[in-house]
Chains A and B, each alone.
Chain A
């Protein structure tokens, strides 16, 4: 079955880079996603990468995908206190015409001023 794993907690100093890691088990994933959840709010899509890509950059965010190792990472450059949130990795795969999505457990990022 599908399984998406993340470490539960990451603490970084303001201005440093943050790297949040994720591993997944299903090699038939079509898209992989990073979501951000701020306290008391729903999830907000940050970025996504198609499974045949290795890297995607979007302003301060860099997504790296290693399909061989089934490893996905999210790098946040120049981390700010506003980046403090829970970050969820998710994978989607075709399930009878609908993309079934499996979420990781989330990584809580704490940014220290």
Chain B
């Protein structure tokens, strides 16, 4: 049972480049979320999804897009990377609407230069 798998683990981008952070879960969870973790700021919600085909914005959605075509996958797209998007990104999934009972991926450390 792999749980929540994020790829890649590390990535360096140049300003203006685009990329997709992958997230997959094999627990048949309806709820999936993307967070970014910055020093001294805890985790901030970027986007979330309550099921296939349904997504919504979180606290800091600007510069990011998501889609949810299947229950298993929830990719996060950076359209035009900026240095302010340098962060550690975590994907999480949960089986209930109580969002914090979540299983987290290992994280993707992204640096934008």
A105 is contacted by which of B4, B40, B106 (Cβ under 8 Å)?
B40
Q: Is the CB of B40 within 8 A of A42?
A: no
With CB as the reference atom, state the residue of chain A lying closest to B48: A98
Q: Is B78 an interface residue (CB 8 A)?
A: no
Q: Which of A89-113 contact B (CB under 8 A)?
A: 90, 92, 97-101, 103-106
Interface size in chain B (residues, C-beta < 8 A): 25
Interface size in chain A (residues, C-beta < 8 A): 25
Contact with B along A9-52 (1 / 0, CB 8 A): 00000000000000000000011010100001111110010000
State the Cβ distance, B104 to closest chain A Cβ, in Å: 3
Chain A neighbourhood of B66, CB < 8 A: none
Q: Is B61 an interface residue (CB 8 A)?
A: no
Q: Is A72 an interface residue (CB 8 A)?
A: no
Q: Is the CB of A105 within 8 A of B100?
A: no
Q: Is the CB of A4 within 8 A of B101?
A: no
